[in-house]
Amino acid sequence: MSPLAHRRFLKMHGAGNAIVVLDLRGTGLRVTAAEAQAIGADPHSGFDQLMVVHDPVSRGTDAFMRIYNTDGSESGACGNGTRCVAYALMDDPAMARPSEGGRLTLETKAGLVAVSRVGELAFTVDMGPPRLRWDEIPLAEPFPDTRRIELQVGPIDEPVLHSPAAVSMGNPHAVFFVDRDPDSFDLGRIGPLLEAHPLFPERANISIAQVTGPDTIKLRVWERGAGLTLACGTAACATVVAASRLRMIGRAARVALSGGLLSIEWRADDHVLMTGPVYREAEGTLAPELFAGLSG
């Protein structure tokens, strides 16, 4: 039997991004790719991202987070999930521990993340600086200017999408800017083709964005390892950075995703701040049957 059987989890979402929070502090346990897939396949514990909370690794941090997609792969960042973890560590009776002034410092494999409470159910996450150099994103070949890279969908003389911006926010993003409603594109077909394009050695999140005003953007996202989602915090951050670099907006915008609004600011110190809501849906325990037959 998997040691995860009967473990308690929280089902939450941030702007529509389905999040499951699993607390493994004090256990030394790790979630395998197969276990993550099994948890995600169950309707009661299904997720876009699984946020697994571990004991702190670095001095001065409150917890270490491992982030899993539905296909069992790991991600270095998830802004919506980080807000949900912050809520759990501050408010959930079974998980909460004292936090100083409504602030936490969390850690992922991509680095440290500072979170602060700005409302009863709203948090700001400091996502750190974007990575803009081709080999940091990473891309498979050199592009001296990642504001526009050579990639297109459709016929050469009349592409459906072309010249995306490339940005990493702890995970790789390709953002296509369009002049019509992103909902009019078949991202469910385009997304999986581009996610695994040879240009992205670590795969990529694929976004279609429309700048709708001087500080507003509409966004749809195909998430690497998860598929179409109602929201993606790192994609919202990457999109604002990319739009600002192209002088389509300033350094801050409200990003409208299918699941709700996120406020993004790319500060002068190069850090990207994301502010948004969290919602607690339910709690449950992982049934032993989920893991039947798994070998790891």
| Tens-place pLDDT, residues 82-94 | 999 999 999 999 9
Residue 145 lies in a domain: no
163 with 252, same domain: the answer is yes
Q: What local confidence, expressed as pLDDT, does residue 293 receive?
A: 77
Tell me whether strands 279-285 and 161-162 are parallel, antiparallel or unpaired.
unpaired
CA–chain centroid gap for 130, Å, is 14
For the cut 80, the answer to whether the pLDDT of residue 104 exceeds it is yes
Residue 43 lies in a domain: yes
189 with 112, same domain: the answer is no
Q: What local confidence, expressed as pLDDT, does residue 16 receive?
A: 87
Q: What local confidence, expressed as pLDDT, does residue 141 receive?
A: 97
263 with 201, same domain: the answer is yes
Average pLDDT value for the chain: 95
Q: Which residues contact 133 (CB under 8 A, 6 or more apart)?
A: 146
200 with 113, same domain: the answer is no
Q: What is the pLDDT of residues 34-44, one digit of tens each?
A: 999 999 999 99
15 with 124, same domain: the answer is yes
Q: Is 138 helix (H, G, I), strand (E, B) or coil?
A: coil
Q: What local confidence, expressed as pLDDT, does residue 15 receive?
A: 87
Please identify which of the residues 78, 110, 167, 273 carries the catalytic annotation. 78
Residue 73 lies in a domain: yes
Residue 85, exposed/middle/buried by CB under 10 A (0-12, 13-18, 19+)? buried
287 with 255, same domain: the answer is no
CATH code for the domain of 38? 3.10.310.10
40 with 116, same domain: the answer is yes
65 with 105, same domain: the answer is yes
- Cis bond before residue 142 (omega within 30° of 0): no
78 is catalytic: yes
124 with 165, same domain: the answer is no
For the cut 80, the answer to whether the pLDDT of residue 101 exceeds it is no
- The model's pTM is 0.92
Residue 296 lies in a domain: no
Provide the domain limits for residue 222.
Answer: 152-268
Over pLDDT 70: what percentage of the chain?
Answer: 98
Domains held by the chain: number: 2
For the cut 70, the answer to whether the pLDDT of residue 295 exceeds it is no
CA–CA dist 6, 118 (Å, integer): 34
Q: What local confidence, expressed as pLDDT, does residue 272 receive?
A: 98
85 with 188, same domain: the answer is no
Q: What is the pLDDT of residues 128-158, one digit of tens each?
A: 999 999 999 999 999 999 999 999 999 888 8
Q: What local confidence, expressed as pLDDT, does residue 100 receive?
A: 67
Q: What is the pLDDT of residues 46-57, one digit of tens each?
A: 999 999 999 999
CA–CA dist 268, 209 (Å, integer): 23
232 is catalytic: yes
Q: What local confidence, expressed as pLDDT, does residue 258 receive?
A: 92
Please identify which of the residues 15, 151, 232, 238 carries the catalytic annotation. 232
Residue 207 lies in a domain: yes
Q: What is the pLDDT of residues 253-293, one digit of tens each?
A: 999 999 999 999 999 999 999 999 999 999 999 999 999 87
